[in-house]
Each structure stands twice: as C-alpha cells, then as structure tokens.
Amino acid sequence: MIGDIIQIDEKHLSTAEQIFTILNTKIPSGNHDKYAVGIAGESGSGKSVTAYAVSKILEKNNIKSVVIQMDNYFKLPPKSNHENRLVSIDNVGTHEVNLDLLSQNIQSFKTGADSFEKPLVNYPENSISTELIFAKDVQVVIVEGTYILELDDFDFKIFIDRNFKSTYKNRMERNRDEKSDFVEQVLQIEHQIIKAYKSKADLILDNDYKVLIPSAQ
C-alpha cells in the first residue's frame, strides 16, 4: 500500500528469527516449491511489521519472499470505504474485501505462475490501481491482513493475539485511524470476527510479542 508507514526494530527482527527457525523446518527445500504464510490479527497488532521482518530474515537466509497486504484488496479506496461505513455500520466486515481475488493470487503463486497482477491502494490519493508481482524466483509469499484466515490457502498460519484496545499507540503512529466512537465501534466489530481465527493458527504471537505454539500453551 502506497503511503503506509512500517518501522522494523530489533524486537521485530528477534521475533522474526524465532519464526524463521520454525518455518525453516517446513518450507520445501526445492526452489520451485512454493509456500504460503498467512499473518492475521487486529488493527495495529503488528501484522505488517511482522510480515516484513520475516521477509527480511528469509532474505538473509537466501530464501526469496514477497509480502502481500490484504489492505490492497478492499473493494473501495480507504476514504471511500470509510464513508461507506458511515452510511451503515453493517458495511463493516469481510464483505468489504475481495478475498476471492486474494485467494486467486495466492493460488497463482503456488501453482508456479511467473507473475500475477494484484490491486495496489494509494492511501494519500484514495485510489486503487494495479501492480504486477514477478514471482518466478520467489519461494515464499507472506500475506498479512485482518481477515486473511478466512482463506484456506496457507501452508502456515500466524495469529497476533493483541486486541485493538492494546494497540491504540500503534494505530496512531501509522496514521491509519482517528480516535472516535465510530472507529472504536468498527474495531469492536472486527474484533468479534477476528478473534475466531486464533484457533486456526500454527503459531501465536501473544500480547508481549512472544512466540507461542498452540499445543504448548
């Protein structure tokens, strides 16, 4: 997404190293085998920074990856989508996102497509265009987003277990939300949807950003 603000620090890289240690036992050794990782969580929970930190660690270990953000798959541009929510709170939910297209893009990658076209949101300009992703030499796709675990396309699923009430500072730093009763209502609706994804996860990052394996909790 054009206009997004993502800052990776040592905490993120340290956690990404731990995630890589687990992923490295699962990613196929052949360069032509494709692997999809999904990272889900609430607004401001750290999905984007985790995705890019993991991608950086993969690159350091000679595994080429690409990050895809679900926010590019909203059917309306950001400001228009917000206005649509103001018309009716019922417009908040998974139906705002073109999850079918996201699934198609993941499957194109996993079946060996040299490239695929995906949406690209320009946040400052409130517009949606497209971009071509060249995937021939990419082994891992990392998809992050609130609703991505609605899909069954992932080989490995990560859930960040932090709710919107504890991520207020993160949201403000990324300049993605304003503080208002309406925004908090939207986030509460999202919370009710997203919390069900925790049971699908192969790995959980807790509220302190520590790595947990579900069976070991």
pLDDT in tens, 26-60: 998 766 789 999 999 998 899 999 999 999 999 99
Name the pLDDT band for 118 (thresholds 50, 70, 90). Answer: very high
Domains of the chain, start order:
10-207 (3.40.50.300)
Provide the pLDDT for residue 177. 55
Query: 61-72, pLDDT tens digit by residue?
Result: 999 999 999 999
Taking alpha carbons only, the member of 37, 54, 58, 56 closest to residue 46 is 54
pTM of the model: 0.91
pLDDT in tens, 148-207: 999 999 999 999 998 877 776 666 665 555 667 898 899 999 999 999 999 999 999 998
Question: E-strand spans in 99-181?
Answer: 115-122, 127-134, 140-144, 156-160
| pLDDT above 50: residue 217 | no
Are the beta carbons of 23 and 139 closer than 8 angstroms?
A: no
Cα distances from 204 to residues 35, 57, 70, in angstroms, run 19, 18, 19
